[in-house]
């Protein structure tokens, strides 16, 4: 089959492109290289089944042509990282909402399946943990910038489901929970590569806030396998699915684990949230997925535990 992967030179997108090519599919990656990179796709750039188009999902004519030539669209192009989102709110909102709208509209004439990658951010401050797909969204005020990102991804989901209902575009939505792995950068605020980079460099490992906030981390191979199965299963159209891991850890414990695995002498220090980020940030205390729906639908169960995932990330940094 012919896949179009928007954001295909990004962290998750490049791993998905590799996964698809290894299974005999033809892959076109669309990426403006704003947060993706040519380095991410160096292992596949000469593969005869792969094509990179350097452009943006905001370019209607280019996108329409690529969509028309594909069987399945995996839409990963989006603003990434808390730091990036807070510092560039307008571009983040435009990329997320207008880009998704363009992808869905381009799929109307031929009815290509669209796999939309959403985020656990849409659950917001909901305290009903673990989060199931039918949980309410509890978002903060419009004056806090991070909620703009959560709202934009929720709007993406609303758009996708509206196009499914009214325009018969076959869509499926995957809500990703804190994906980690090789090629992820700490440049945009992602915590694991930031901790690993600091630990290996002998710098202070900076924990934002009290460190008691908890997260669950999913290794990228588990995520791309889930996205692939969601793209292939014909019985789940119109569905929304959490993609994550149920192994919960505090951010302080994560810092300690990274320090130990790196055999680092770095000190772990705490930085107040207001110093870590400028105006427009509010944290969530817990974020943990309920995976029962995706397990029933496609048999998903994460295979890589946190220790193994961190070791792989550390090895990729050392390389």
Annotated catalytic residues are 149
CA distances from 71 to 55, 234, 254, 274 (A): 20, 13, 40, 46
CA distance 264 to 250: 19
DSSP string for 280-305: S----S---B--HHHHHHH-------
Residue 44: partners with Cβ closer than 8 Å, 6 or more residues away? 14, 17, 18, 21, 27, 50
CA distance 224 to 259: 28
Find, among 241, 129, 239, 111, the residue nearest to 176 by Cα: 241
CA distance 79 to 77: 7
CA distance 40 to 131: 32
Q: Enter the tokens of residue 149.
A: 């990102």
């Amino acid at each position: 089959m012919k896949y179009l992967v928007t954001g295909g030179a990004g962290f998750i997108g490049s791993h998905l492109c590799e996964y698809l090519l290894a299974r005999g599919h033809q892959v076109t990656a669309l990426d403006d290289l704003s947060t993706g990179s040519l380095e991410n796709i160096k292992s596949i750039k000469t593969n005869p089944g792969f094509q990179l188009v350097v452009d943006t999902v905001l370019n209607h004519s280019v996108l329409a042509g690529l969509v028309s030539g594909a069987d399945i669209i995996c839409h990963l192009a989006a603003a990434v990282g808390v730091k990036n989102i807070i510092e560039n709110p307008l571009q983040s909102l435009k990329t997320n909402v207008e880009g998704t709208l363009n992808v869905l509209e381009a799929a109307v004439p031929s009815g290509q399946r669209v796999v939309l990658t959403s985020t656990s951010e849409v659950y917001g401050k909901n305290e009903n943990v673990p989060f199931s797909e039918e949980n309410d969204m509890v978002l903060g005020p419009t004056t806090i910038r991070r909620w703009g990102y959560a709202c934009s991804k929720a709007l993406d989901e609303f758009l996708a489901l509206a196009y499914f209902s009214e325009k018969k575009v076959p869509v499926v939505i995957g809500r990703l929970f804190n994906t980690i792995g090789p090629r992820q950068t700490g440049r945009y605020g992602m915590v694991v590569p930031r901790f690993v980079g600091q630990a290996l460099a002998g710098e202070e490992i900076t924990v934002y806030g009290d460190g008691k906030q908890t997260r669950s981390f999913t290794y990228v191979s588990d995520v791309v396998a889930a996205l692939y199965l969601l793209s292939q299963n014909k019985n789940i159209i119109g569905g929304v699915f959490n993609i994550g891991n149920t192994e919960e850890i505090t951010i302080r414990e994560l810092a300690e684990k990274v320090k130990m695995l790196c055999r680092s002498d770095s000190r772990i220090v705490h930085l107040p949230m207001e110093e870590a980020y400028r105006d427009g940030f509010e944290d969530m205390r817990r974020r943990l997925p309920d995976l029962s729906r995706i397990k029933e639908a496609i048999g998903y169960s994460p295979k890589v535990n946190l220790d193994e995932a961190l070791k792989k990330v550390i090895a990729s940094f050392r390389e």
